[in-house]
Amino acid sequence: MKKNKSAYTVSSEALSPELALEIRPGQSVELLKALHILTREGKLNQDSRRKLKQVYHLYQFIEKLMQEVMPETAKSVTLADHGAGKSYLGFILYDLYFKALPNSRIFGVETRAELVQASRQLAAHLGFERMTFLNASVADSMQEAMLPDQIDVVTALHACDTATDDAIRFGLQKHAKAMVLVPCCQAEIARHLNHGKALSLQRTALAELWRHPLHTREIGSQITNVLRCLYLESQGYQVTVTELVGWEHSMKNELILARFTGQYKKAAARRLVAILEEFGLKSLLNTRFTGLKDNLSDNPSSI
């Protein structure tokens, strides 16, 4: 039986004046209740208001990117959301943007099977037919037959540790026109720094920056994101780094926006290698930054 989709959308006029200020016009109240952003009575508490603010703030960035990458003739876009969790972002993107684009699709990638199943059930309940959910890691999704060869926009919101790097590799493999990354728990480089700490302290005074465990974690996180930005620039992307939300909401709020321009920057590749050498991390060239050497060779399109 065909669903009456109007049952899932309540206009802002039907809401209380306070709630109408919080929720976008045409937003599905049924969806917000199902995601526990709204209570059963249709109200917001402080925690859900914070969650809604974060998702809407991120939506503003993604909406602009999708408008930039969507061909004028096709009016369609594909998006892969890695580390989707309960798919707050995917559902709200679909509700506010994708519903009006018949040929567009969202793919949610999540390792927890129970969350994937719950998202599938909710999408079916709401009639969100062009949402697909995959039970896979970011790395495994690169071999997933259900995903198309081309994905326009890749998102990874709080994908832990190296999952963000996997999302970048996924975006490169799928020729993504844009990537939206909010890294989390960047521990890999901190482990490398800690492993060679004694030698580094003998070699350079800069090692004082990560001599103490807390500093090791913090500078490891900073170096990780700097390297990611340089890598994206070396692979033809223009990169912008900003805050997702204020520090009062989350300590993990660095937002990396990457738009493909086709300008493969040799200077970014060289600086990335120089940082790896300076911090004793050159082994990562063969793991996290594969293909980088190609950008160090003579390439007419490189700058």
pLDDT tens by residue, 67-125: 888 876 677 899 999 999 999 899 999 999 999 888 899 999 999 999 999 999 999 99
Instruction: Please give the pLDDT value at position 129.
Output: 95
- Structure-block tokens of residue 196: 């060679």
Which pair of tokens denotes residue 137? 């890691």
**What token pair was written down for 50?**
């914070």
Architecture of domain 49-296: 3-Layer(aba) Sandwich (3.40)
**Tokens in use for 244?**
């997702």
Which stretch of DSSP H or E encloses residue 58?
Answer: helix 46-69
pLDDT in tens, 215-254: 988 998 999 999 999 999 999 999 999 987 644 444 567 8
- The reported pTM is 0.86
pLDDT of residue 296: 65
C-alpha to C-alpha distance for 73 and 200, rounded to whole angstroms: 56
Q: What is the DSSP letter of 26?
A: T
What contacts 47, CB < 8 A, 6 or more positions away? none
Outline where DSSP puts E strands in the chain: 78-82, 105-110, 131-135, 153-160, 178-184, 237-243, 254-260
Residue 12: the pLDDT is 41
Residues 6+ apart with CB under 8 A from 209: 215, 219
- For residue 24, pLDDT beyond 90: no
pLDDT given at position 18:
67
Residue 300 has pLDDT above 50, yes or no: no
Q: What percent of the chain has pLDDT over 70?
A: 87
Paired tokens of 209: 């920056």
Q: Give the pLDDT confidence of 179-204 residue by residue, as tens digits.
A: 999 988 878 888 888 888 887 888 88
pLDDT in tens, 243-283: 876 444 445 678 999 999 999 999 999 999 999 998 888 88
1 or 78, which is more confident? Answer: 78
State the average pLDDT for the chain: 85
Question: Phi/psi of residue 13, each to 5°?
Answer: -65, -25
Per-domain residue ranges of the chain: 49-296
Residue 9 has pLDDT above 70, yes or no: no
